[in-house]
Amino acid sequence: MFIQSNFASILYNASSRFQPTHLVLKSPSEHTVNGHHYDIEMQVFHDAEEVDEESNIKHAATVIFFSVEEFDEIDEVQNKTLQDFFRQFKFEDTQDKIAP
């Protein structure tokens, strides 16, 4: 599964496709939105699919915030999307990972 980013391609002359490599979950959130901490923060780290000497971005990160109440509203389609996303990671390796 790749994350598509035309923003990275146009603005930073980077690859437009990024492969998720690892994630970090934090509770409560490390970052805030308008001064508000969320119950859970998920940081997803990516590597660019293609890198050359002209690329300005080789790695990227996405941060997603969750409130516990939001999980009550997840329907079957959203649940499948989340399950498919997490299956992309190799969770059978149970050693703790340290983000670079």
DSSP 4-32: E-HHHHHHH---SEEEEEEEEEESS-SSE
Q: Are 43 and 61 in contact (CB under 8 A)?
A: yes
Low-confidence ranges of the chain (pLDDT < 50): 100
- CA distance linking residue 33 with residue 28, whole number of Å: 13
Predicted local distance difference test score (pLDDT) of residue 79: 76
**Cβ proximity of 42 and 63 under 8 Å:** yes
Could you give the CA distance from residue 43 to residue 66 in angstroms, rounded to a whole number? 11
Does the pTM surpass 0.75? The reply is no
pLDDT of residue 37: 92
pLDDT one-digit tens code per residue, 2-25: 667 776 677 666 667 777 788 888
pLDDT for res 98: 54
C-alpha to C-alpha distances, 99 to 11, 23, 42, 45, 61, nearest whole angstrom: 26, 8, 12, 9, 11
Six-digit token pair at 96?
Answer: 């703790």
Q: What is the pLDDT of residue 96?
A: 58
Contact 37, 23 (CB under 8 A): no
- Model pLDDT, residue 35: 93
